[in-house]
Structure 1
Amino acid sequence: MNRPRGDIAAALRQLADNRGLAGQVNGLFVPSIAYGSHQMQWLAGALGGISPLADAAWAVDEPTMGLALLRLAGPRLQAAISGVTLLAAWVDFLNLAEAILRQCPAYSVERLLRNIHRVQQLIEPSMRALSSLEPAQVEAATAALPALMGQLTQEFHSLREGARASMERAGQFIAAAQAIEMLTMVSMLKLSLPRLPPTAPALVGVGLVMGSNGVMMGSQLVVTAEWVELMRRLVRAGVLSAFAVGAAVRIHAGLVLMAQANQALPQGVREALGEGPEVSAIHETGKAGAGMAERPQHHVLPEEFREWFEKRGFNGSMDIDKFCVELEQAHHQAVHGGGNWRLGRTWPREWNQMIMKALRDAELEVGRRLTRNEVLNLVAERMKDYGIPMNFTPWRGR
């Protein structure tokens, strides 16, 4: 992930140079370059938030708590993977715009600006959903990404052909032939586009093609058995969804797979990942998909003691709002001592009272503040005692 992100950042810097896209036609395309740089900011934040979760997952003693922490990182990882793919496509369009301005003077600047703006409007809803890092929005944007990439590929081809046609209409046939050859090279190698056979369409943002033996390969990456095994483990652990892996495969395998209406994984990849509910199931999210009202969320780290937890390292991607669990209404009432929360708080075994007493007693015993991982280990023990599943979801708010 770091290498593609570094390549994109370098390309944006080059475009922003006075000799690049930013220095042409009075800076009309500067906002387009700035849009790409803005996406880099949330991508860096998403990736940066994964490290504390992964570090904590390896450090806690309770394996189920470690797995739960890795699952918390899943939406961030999913968003970053999809976001990098979209941003690479956007940079390809900016590179194409720069090439058209330099090589195709007959192509209207106003028309080019409108086309680039239209592409940004296509990308923006998915970028906004991914940058929210909200699991349901990330999942929906990821599932829709193959179709969007197919649409962007068509836009790319249309823009390139429009430049060629404008040159030919101006009577510059030789220049048009030279320009289209150059524009094809822009679309084939700049950042994310592989060298595809001449009969295959150029795919925006794609680094892989599917060979005749079912092995995916490309100019930048070969999907190995180790990659497949990693994906299998991440899917089965619930860190990444089968939708996310399927979307990545369809994008990297080409437009034929993008067109699959049922959004199923390719058979060869399905066999590699392994059969089972984790791979084959369609995951419904939200009350509409489940056919019922959303279940209440329970803060396992009581929000009324937010400041106490912040002093022990629960900030940023480890904020206490990340440590919520969906419970059935009856179960939620039970852990809080019944339907009347005021009366429930008088019960010593009520969750908030019990967990804070246990944490404070532990600090008295060791004579110092507990570390974040020590807090998580203790909380994991109590969650098992109360039958609370270690399947965290971010706080939705009231």
Structure 2
Amino acid sequence: MAAAPGGAVESAWRNALAAQLAFRGAVLDVSGSTSRLSSEFSRLAASTPGIAGRASGLFIRYVDHGVQQLRWLDAELAATTRLANAASEVKDPDMQLALLRLAGPRLEAAMLGSLLLAVWLDFLHLTDVALKQQFYSVERLFVDLDRVQKMLEPAMVALSSGESGQVEAAAKDIPMLVGHLTREFAATREAMRMGAEKLQKILVLKESIEALTLLSALKFSLPSLPPSAPATLGLALMMGGDGVMMGTRLIVSAEWVEMMRQLVRAGVLSLPAVGAVVRIQAGQVMMAQSHDELPKGVRDALGDGPEVRGMRVTSRTGAGMNEPPRHHVLPKEFREWFEKRGFTGEMDIDQFCVEMEQAHHEAIHGGGDWRLGRQWPGEWNRMIMRALRNAETDAGRMLTRNEILDIVVATMKRDRIPVNFTPWSGR
């Protein structure tokens, strides 16, 4: 399709290309973060003087827990990459953006999950140091880690669900959760410091008593100085200005912010998810002062333009809408037909639903009674399947998945159905 320079079609292609590049850049960043996490978990698993060697491996289960969480993160990133590849193969720029939006919740889940897993890794690093230095109660460390794991678990379960609503709900709570865990981390570190000071005082007392030959009978057994140097609690950690743990996490740069801005404007990523990451990275672990306005730090990071000013962190209910029906643009009664042509996994036909008003949904199906509606030649399911089968007859072969999507998107645009898909949730 030709278009004059600066025309609407060229603009659409330019926007789709910008979104593709930003999306792949974001996936690459999160993949780098998960690779570093994997490397750190492997190192801790081999830390025999510390986490892997104390109390017959009592703490190794917590390293294994991190590795298990990393598996679903890697699976989400793999699915996200496949959807991005599928988006790059279709011709229509609107369909490209629609496929990226389908992958958006998966990328959000991986991004936020890697943040929480990095927090977990920070606690494991701290535990590893405490076990090596031997000036903090092993029992207390075990209880502390168990409590942190239980605090992180609900958010991780929501993120790993793959359901966009659960991901957004978790995103809104994650900054506060990280803030609370930051205080827990600081308290544990302070207790370790005090323990080290007490141990040093005892060792000084022991040396003083041993120096008094007249009181040699008073010698008694006291804890020996650990072979390692005084506690260095930094390791891979770095504390932000507001006490937020950083170091194993994604580092925010101007390029990263620009990627997020592109993806938010394209509707690929949601404001709650991006806002949560920006607030955590900026150390602004606080909720918005007003329930319908973005925090100033988020607005500053995303750019205070009209697009961002018009965005609000809200649900459909908060926007005054009831949950609308979801229309399968690929008719579900022909699921097997579509599966034979490549619509499986993350490209299952349940991913290709469109939210629309009840009246509109009934209209494209020929009215409220679907049985009577099927008799109308213009009914959506009859019409789209006729177009697809005619195309296969003309081609003399099965259509490919991308060819089917090209036909579907052209029909959607003709009937003024928005090319913006929402996965089916069984309603």
Q: TM-score band, normalised by the shorter chain?
A: 0.7 to 0.9
Which of 25, 49, 69 is the aligned partner of 2:99?
69
User: What is the Cα-based RMSD across aligned positions, in Å?
Assistant: 2.6
Deviation at 1:329, TM superposition (A): 0.5
Q: Report the counterpart of residue 203 of structure 1 in structure 2.
A: 244
CA distance in 2, matches of 1:116, 1:245: 28
CA distance in 2, matches of 1:64, 1:321: 19
Deviation at 1:168, TM superposition (A): 3.7
Q: Report the counterpart of residue 388 of structure 2 in structure 1.
A: 359
SS at match of 1:74: helix
Q: Are residues 278 and 322 of structure 1, via their aligned partners in 2, closer, same or farther at CA, if it must alter by over 3 Å?
A: farther
1:210-266 Cα shifts (integer Å, max 9, x gaps): xxxxxxxxxx74612x43332221111101122322222211112xx2235437344
User: Contact conserved, 2:69 with 2:117, CA < 8 A, in 1?
Assistant: yes
After TM superposition, list the pairs within 5 Å mapping 1:245-264 onto structure 2: 245-254=274-283, 257-259=284-286, 261-262=288-289, 264=294
CA distance in 1, matches of 2:346, 2:382: 25
Q: Determine if the alignment matches structure 1 residue 334 to structure 2 residue 363.
A: yes
After TM superposition, list the pairs within 5 Å mapping 1:1-398 onto structure 2: 1-17=30-46, 19=48, 21-104=51-134, 106-170=135-199, 171-172=201-202, 182-186=231-235, 190=236, 193-194=237-238, 200=241, 202-205=243-246, 221=251, 223-224=253-254, 226-254=255-283, 257-259=284-286, 261-262=288-289, 264-266=294-296, 270=300, 273-286=303-316, 288-398=317-427
Q: Are residues 173 and 83 of structure 1, via their aligned partners in 2, closer, same or farther at CA, if it must alter by over 3 Å?
A: farther
CA distance in 2, matches of 1:97, 1:267: 33
User: Contact conserved, 2:343 with 2:349, CA < 8 A, in 1?
Assistant: yes
Deviation at 1:148, TM superposition (A): 1.4
| TM-score normalized by the length of structure 2 | 0.81
Deviation at 1:268, TM superposition (A): 8.4
SS at match of 2:334: helix
CA distance in 1, matches of 2:367, 2:202: 81
Deviation at 1:63, TM superposition (A): 1.4
Q: Are residues 144 and 23 of structure 1, via their aligned partners in 2, closer, same or farther at CA, if it must alter by over 3 Å?
A: same
For residue 48 of structure 1, what is the amino acid of its counterpart? A
Structure 1: stretches of 5+ with no match in the other structure? 209-219
CA distance in 1, matches of 2:227, 2:55: 22
Deviation at 1:103, TM superposition (A): 0.4
For residue 245 of structure 2, what is the amino acid of its counterpart? V
Larger-gyration structure (1/2):
2
Q: Are residues 141 and 272 of structure 1, via their aligned partners in 2, closer, same or farther at CA, if it must alter by over 3 Å?
A: closer
For residue 258 of structure 1, what is the amino acid of its counterpart? V
Structure 2: stretches of 5+ with no match in the other structure? 1-29, 205-223
User: Contact conserved, 1:232 with 1:274, CA < 8 A, in 2?
Assistant: no
User: Contact conserved, 1:242 with 1:280, CA < 8 A, in 2?
Assistant: no
Deviation at 1:31, TM superposition (A): 2.3
User: Contact conserved, 1:68 with 1:390, CA < 8 A, in 2?
Assistant: yes
SS at match of 1:314: coil
Q: How many residues align?
A: 374
